[in-house]
Amino acid sequence: MQTASDEQQSSLTAALRLDLTRASYGVETLGRLWGDEADAALHRAQRVPAIRALRAHPVVPASTLATAFVLGLPVPRTDLAAALPRLGVDGAVALGLVEAGETVVRPLLDLRPYSFVDAQGVGSWWIASDLGELSTGGALREDHVLGVGGASMTLSGLMIGAPVDRALDLGTGCGIQAMHAARHAGLVVATDISRRALDIARLNAQLNGIENIRFRLGSLFEPVAGETFGHIVSNPPFVITPRGGDVPSYDYRDGGLVGDALVASVISGLSDHLEPGGIAQLLGNWEYRATADGLDRVAGWTDGTGLDAWVVERERQDPALYSETWIRDGGTRPGGEFDRLYGAWLDDFEARGVTGVGFGYLTLRKPRGTVALRRFERLDGPIGSGLGPHLEASIAAHDRQAALTDEGLGRGVLTVAGDVTEERHYWPGAEDPTVMVLHQGGGFGRSISLDTGLAALVGACDGELSLRAIVAAIAQLLEVDEAALSSELLPRVRELLVAGILTF
């Protein structure tokens, strides 16, 4: 990537920002240009429908920019000059966006609009990254800087947006998590082992007018030795990659350690860099072995750290599927080289006794008080976007209910969350249901099976009666011992509070 001086780059990115704004280069504009079908095809890494759609329309600045920087195709120099009148073709060359001939300009970077909703509201940016295999037509370079993909959108959606003085983005890549963190942190420190990644991340911050990010070169926590933060986020290079066998080592996904040791290493370093009450959020992979459950393995990594932990496993893949997924991700297509790499990955898993790989979300906290949070669960059903506010509310609910004795909880007045519905199934002609299930519309989309007592309790939580009064009434109705019923229901109420089914 060609880089300009700091002063020159600031001036050039300001000009580029004005040009992109003038061209209405946004997600909605591109959707109108090539339509829903072509947009869906692009998400499947197929650009032909979008190319055909753009050819059917007159050339406008947005279509020129999309052709070059989303589809990765050369465009006439005159068209790019018209699309970027303030920056100019020479300015685009100076920023490392393109290489220019006398008549044709070829893109060197991907530059596309990105829109989102987070705890601070609706937003939109332009994000630069390296061209993907759709544009290059081959395997990625090992220092490839990834753009906004599924994993990065997952992490940004999980991000808790509570205000903090200082945040850390560990392994920033193109800078997307640092930019999100900058919306709720006074200062963000963004680190990466790749100088190229930091150059692109710095370009993205400048292009979008974000001034409270500081970029530092180095591995993991080395650039922030002795510093603490209120929030740490990381989409670390967690992909389990064979060591040896001439397997490509991509900066954006491979931390250079054996197996899942990179995620374990990140967890071990968090306590020294979190303020009391500070929260860390990251994505990760963990191995299943013949004698070890994956979530138990993660729980072992957190033991002795002094950190609270809430880990959600979203998916588990067998070694073959995992290998195929990440070989394809590197741009290697089926054939001899694909087969060679496939063998190397399977050999590595077999040698270490790996039977599967889990993927999920990790939320860790440095406790401020004595209430401990330890949850390790599998939730593989469909979920919505924007889990950050739900996680924040769930952690607060956990702390509040955990601090209450059963007597104190019984005095509470609870309500059913507004996104909760109840499903009942009956045998034909039966008066009583055979199956009752609560469904959560938001959050993690949990489904909770009910028995008669819990169904009656949830149905009565309308903000009027105390929990103790509701349990007493149910005990009388069912003709059971009130103390025994309370002992049975209160632990389940605590779980429903943490899950966000019931609220204080």
Maximum average pLDDT range among 95-104, 251-260, 375-384: 95-104
Q: Is the pLDDT of residue 175 over 90?
A: yes
**pLDDT tens digits for range 296-327:** 999 999 999 999 999 999 999 999 999 999 99
Token couple for 263: 């995620």
Domain CATH number, residue 436? 3.90.930
DSSP characters over 269-285: HHGGGEEEEEEEEEEEE
Last residue of a domain, one of 368, 386, 413: 368
pTM here is 0.93
Task: Say if residue 127 is in the same domain as residue 98.
Answer: no
Q: Is 389 a domain residue?
A: no
Exposed / middle / buried, residue 382 (Cβ in 10 Å: 0-12, 13-18, 19+): exposed
Q: Is 191 a domain residue?
A: yes
How much of the chain exceeds pLDDT 70, in percent? Answer: 99
Structural domain range at position 230? 115-368
Task: Say if residue 241 is in the same domain as residue 305.
Answer: yes
Q: Is 381 a domain residue?
A: no
Q: Is 374 a domain residue?
A: no
Task: Say if residue 294 is in the same domain as residue 436.
Answer: no
pLDDT band at 118, cuts 50/70/90? confident
Mean pLDDT of the chain: 94
Q: Is the pLDDT of residue 384 over 90?
A: no
Task: Say if residue 363 is in the same domain as residue 474.
Answer: no
Please compute the mean of the pLDDT values over residues 398-406 and round it to a whole number.
95
Q: Is 375 a domain residue?
A: no
pLDDT band at 2, cuts 50/70/90? low
Q: Is the pLDDT of residue 138 over 80?
A: no
Task: Say if residue 310 is in the same domain as residue 412.
Answer: no
Residue 3's pLDDT is what?
A: 58
Task: Say if residue 89 is in the same domain as residue 156.
Answer: no
CB 333 within 8 A of CB 136: no
82 against 385, higher pLDDT: 82
Q: Is the pLDDT of residue 370 over 80?
A: no
Task: Say if residue 180 is in the same domain as residue 278.
Answer: yes
pLDDT band at 329, cuts 50/70/90? confident
246 against 393, higher pLDDT: 393
Last residue of a domain, one of 319, 353, 368: 368
HEC states along 1-21? CCCCCHHHHHHHHHHHHHHHH
Token couple for 479: 């003709």
pLDDT band at 4, cuts 50/70/90? low
Last residue of a domain, one of 89, 107, 125: 107
Task: Say if residue 228 is in the same domain as residue 362.
Answer: yes
Question: How many structural domains comprise the chain?
Answer: 3
How much of the chain exceeds pLDDT 90, in percent? Answer: 85
Domain CATH number, residue 239? 3.40.50.150
Q: Is 271 a domain residue?
A: yes
Maximum average pLDDT range among 136-140, 254-258, 303-307: 303-307
Task: Say if residue 225 is in the same domain as residue 363.
Answer: yes
Q: Is 476 a domain residue?
A: yes
Task: Say if residue 152 is in the same domain as residue 97.
Answer: no
CB 168 within 8 A of CB 188: yes
Q: Is the pLDDT of residue 40 over 60?
A: yes
CB 366 within 8 A of CB 274: yes
Residue 243's pLDDT is what?
A: 87
What pairs with residue 118 in β-bridges?
121
Q: Is 385 a domain residue?
A: no
Task: Say if residue 150 is in the same domain as residue 299.
Answer: yes
pLDDT band at 137, cuts 50/70/90? confident
Nearest to 443 by CA among 371, 395, 403, 493: 395
C-alpha 239/C-alpha 359 separation (Å) is: 10
Q: Is the pLDDT of residue 385 over 90?
A: no
Task: Say if residue 174 is in the same domain as residue 275.
Answer: yes
